[in-house]
Amino acid sequence: MNAVYTKAVLALGSNLGERNDTLSSAVADLVDPPEVRLLAVSPVIQTKAVGGPPDQPDFLNMVVTVETCMSPRELLEHCQAVENKHHRVREVRWGPRTLDVDVITYGDLRSDDPVLTLPHPRAAGRAFVLYPWSLIDPAATLNGERISVLAARAEDYGDIAPFDGFGDFDGMPTAGAVTEL
């Protein structure tokens, strides 16, 4: 019997430790099991923290698209296991973290389940999710609107900066970080 695969969009972020290395190895961990196949990886962007405690280090963010035969709940549990592998600590809501992995969409599934609401309930207003997603899937829509349009309207759009991958530790680039789009 052939498994049925569903396309999912995952958003990754990190603002503690070796952020870029964490994101790279997290992508590898996410697609390690044969039940998850990598379709596309966005460029990494740097953004200010949205919500949570003030004065957090900047985040590196990216989006990946995958196809999976895991159920939505199994995919969420897999994402949380990858977060845990990278020493994710949940002390403060939206606080600093080594790794955050969110399931943004799972096919066309809509769910109001409080454990896994789909599409992600805040994604349509977060440029740090929408902008990198638009770079790998320009025709994608969320709630019937093109994600590039949603990204441009998001409050955090002006805080997006490209990241070149050099000199990264604890959200403080030590060399080579690009600060303007």
Please tell me the least confidently modeled range out of 4-13, 144-153, 157-166, 169-178.
Answer: 169-178
**Nearest alpha carbon to residue 51 among 142, 151, 156:** 156
Which residue among 88, 126, 137, 168 is the active-site one? Answer: 88
Residue 19 falls in the annotated catalytic set: no
Helix (H, G, I), strand (E, B) or coil at 102: strand
The dihedrals phi and psi of 180, each to the nearest 5 degrees, come to: -135, 150
Residue 73 falls in the annotated catalytic set: no
Per-residue pLDDT at 166 exceeds 90:
no
Stated pTM of the model: 0.89
